Chains A and B, each alone.
Chain A
Amino acid sequence: MDIEDVENLAELARIELSGDEKKEILSDMKGILEYVKQIEKVKMPIRQLADEKNEYNNLINVWREDKIESREFSKELILGQFPDTQDGFLKVKKIL
């Protein structure tokens, strides 16, 4: 990992970083990756892939009925949290 990788990650994560911080994060990341890399050493049995699939099949999706249930929310309270509003709507910058 080098400083360009950090810059790339920061851009992917949409976080503005200062030059000093990039250096600091680079050095932290090296230490962290060094530690978590030990996971590579774990040998997985070959049956793993088939098993994994079974296990995911055992997981179930949690659905609810597609009907509206009334829940109390205060429009004012939610609007109050928006950084910017207009006519009772959230106002955002234009995207394109």
Chain B
Amino acid sequence: MIDLKNLTIKKARLALDAGEFSAVDLAQTYLNEIKNKNKELNAYLEVYNDVLDQAKVADDRIAKGESSPLLGIPLAIKDNILIKGKFVSAASKILANYVASYDATVITKLKKQGAVFLGRTNMDEFAMGGSTENSAYGVTKNPHDLKRVAGGSSGGAIVAVAANLALGALGSDTGGSVREPAAFCGIVGMKPTYGRVSRYGLITMGSSLDCIGQIAKNTEDVQIIFDAISGHDVLDSTSITDTTYPKQIFNKELVIGIPYDLAIGEGVSPEVRENFTQAVEKLKKLGFKTKNISLKNLDMSLAIYYIIMPAEASTNLARFDGVRYGLHKDGKNLLEDYMFTKGAGFGKEVRRRILLGTYVLSHGYYDAYYGKAQMVRNELKKEFTKAFESVDFIITPTAPFVAWKIGEKSDPVSVWLADIFTVTANIVGVPAISLPSGFLEIEGKKLPLGIQFMASHGREDLLFEISKRFEEINEK
């Protein structure tokens, strides 16, 4: 019997290479666990029928003496990343029977390493949401308290890892969709620098914000996945190279910047504030210098985000018109086909965001909303560049509160407020990671809390360094 609870990608690698168990054994153990738990948690929308075949291929490669970090490692993939020949629906009815005709670049890279794909995981429809309540296929539940949301939009991928239904996962992060659920479920999630991981084959939401994120139980595993999938890709024109952002060294020792106004400000629950303050104390004990920082337009992040993201999403989602793929509803003419298909295929939140995006881009409102948001976004970028001259990290809580009860938040703006700390990294394009920082006990359940580190463009290496050190002290 393989102890999945304490297993990591690193440990599994050693065990597979030493022949302690085979990739087939490992995959079968996960399949059994999925069978036991998935009905209740709803993490996977589909478990692939060729998992054991994939594992067998990995075993053959291991037998030949091959080894790569992810060879034979079972992973879960968010339902918006394309795997050739497999269904991919973005948890939407409009793509219910869509079969991918090519591999995303990240999938090509993982296949080369010999990773085993267990299945596709639940999400908010088209990644629009922070709770996975907007999936067309039912909500994903938080393994720490089944009455609560797992967070989102990558809720299924996060729960797969948190509930030991996969060793690692890929999600997507447009405004916090990997980091917020990671915090809600007590695991590690990272959004890399914009462009560092190819998005070829990711179903788009907001193209200037979208990133493919890495999900695992600890930083070391997240780093293994990041190393496997990052790198320049000619198929993604926004892809960057290792030299796009020169590594500048401003400080002799690592300094953590704390935007106190925001981090423990209005709307942040007292428990989150306390946990955050404790985390900062721990970091000080580790020898990190801290510095209070203040960014003029930081409090505008959420407003910028909820203008730019729907604008881009409304443009991107125009392609789902019932003509080339996906759902088709027949009307009297082509216009009716469009109207009926989109009306029937898109869920409520998606329709809301498309309309909002259409509004902020429309004549008469463009300058006041979209144009202005772009300007403030540029200002915020400059403020971040400036801030990273005097600090190496910016730390905040990952979310202002713990996972809420399913169905508790019905007003869209109240759900969006969960993204207050995470959207900024997407707006300015810097890498950010969420780490578990403790628990809050409510009604006899221990609910995880998380903290977030941001670093300057291209400095995932610094995030890994500080995260590993924080993990060591936090576990004690």
Contact = CB atoms under 8 A, between A and B. Distances in A.
Interface size classification for chain B: 35 or more
Interface in A36-55: 36-40, 42, 44, 48, 51-52, 55
Contacts of B354: 13, 15
B323 A83 contact: yes
Interface string B303-319: 11011000000100010
Interface in A2-58: 5-6, 9-10, 12-17, 21, 25, 28-29, 31-33, 35-40, 42, 44, 48, 51-52, 55
B339 to A, nearest CB: 4
Interface centre among B99, B318, B375 (most CB of A within 10 A): B375
Nearest to B336: A16
B412 A32 contact: yes
B322 A38 contact: no
A48 B375 contact: yes
B358 interface: yes
Contact of B234 (A33, A64, A74, A82): A64
Given A29-B356, A44-B375, A15 B346 contact: yes
Contacts of A39: 300, 303-304, 307, 369, 372-373, 376
A15 B101 contact: no
Contact of A17 (B238, B338, B343, B376): B343
Given A42-B297, A77-B99, A52 B375 contact: yes
A31 B325 contact: no
Interface stretch (B60-68, B117-125, B262-270, B327-335): B327-335
Interface of chain A: mostly helix, strand, loop or mixed:
helix
A92 B334 contact: yes
Contacts of A81: 98-99, 101, 324-326
Given A31-B411, A32-B356, A39-B304, A83 B343 contact: no
Interface in B352-409: 352, 354-356, 358-360, 362, 368-369, 372-373, 375-376, 378-379
Interface of chain B: mostly helix, strand, loop or mixed:
helix
A95 B334 contact: yes
A81 B325 CA distance: 5
B245 to A, nearest CB: 14
Interface of A: 5-6, 9-10, 12-17, 21, 25, 28-29, 31-33, 35-40, 42, 44, 48, 51-52, 55, 62, 64, 73-74, 77-78, 80-84, 90, 92-95
27 contacts: A6-B355, A12-B358, A13-B354, A14-B335, A16-B340, A16-B343, A16-B344, A25-B355, A29-B352, A29-B355, A31-B411, A32-B352, A35-B302, A39-B372, A39-B376, A42-B297, A44-B372, A44-B376, A44-B379, A62-B238, A74-B101, A78-B101, A80-B99, A81-B98, A92-B334, A93-B333, A93-B334
Q: Closest 3 CB pairs between A and B?
A: A16-B343, A83-B328, A62-B237
